[in-house]
């Protein structure tokens, strides 16, 4: 893999991680706001029950948010590359993403 390929992979990974974290936190917060009453009925006044519920829901929410985070990560990465003329420089150097 070329240096440019590693650079693009690192940039995409960073944007993907940020988007996945933000979307997961938002979805988990909304889910917890909706289900907090039911969770607290099983163990009244216990913060540990809310944390345990969040931990158990996390894999499902991550699986739901991964496609959206991937799309948003690619869009943001390409937008940033275009804004700083890095993508234009890649086109001028005849860099292909498929190679």
Per-residue pLDDT tens for 36-87? Answer: 888 888 777 788 888 998 999 999 999 999 999 999 999 999 999 999 988 8
Average pLDDT over residues 21-45: 89
pLDDT of residue 9 exceeding 60:
yes
Scanning 1-99, the segments in alpha helix (DSSP H) are 3-42, 47-83, 86-92
Residues 49, 45: Cα–Cα separation, whole Å: 9
Name, in order, each residue with C-beta under 8 angstroms of 81's C-beta and a sequence gap of 6 or more: 11, 87, 90
pLDDT of residue 98 exceeding 70:
no
Name, in order, each residue with C-beta under 8 angstroms of 78's C-beta and a sequence gap of 6 or more: 87
pTM of the model: 0.82
Torsion of CA 9, 13, 14, 19, to 10 degrees: 140
- Which of 32-36, 64-68, 87-91 has the least mean pLDDT? 87-91
């Amino acid at each position: 893999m070329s240096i440019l390929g590693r650079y693009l992979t690192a940039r995409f990974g960073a944007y993907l991680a940020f988007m996945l974290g933000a979307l997961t936190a938002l979805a988990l917060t909304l889910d917890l706001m909706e289900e907090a009453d039911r969770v607290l009925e099983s163990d009244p006044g216990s913060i540990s029950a809310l944390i345990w519920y969040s931990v158990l829901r996390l894999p499902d929410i991550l699986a739901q948010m991964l496609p959206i985070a991937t799309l948003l990560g690619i869009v943001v990465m390409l937008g940033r590359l275009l804004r700083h003329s890095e993508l234009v420089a890649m086109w001028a150097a005849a860099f292909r993403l498929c190679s």
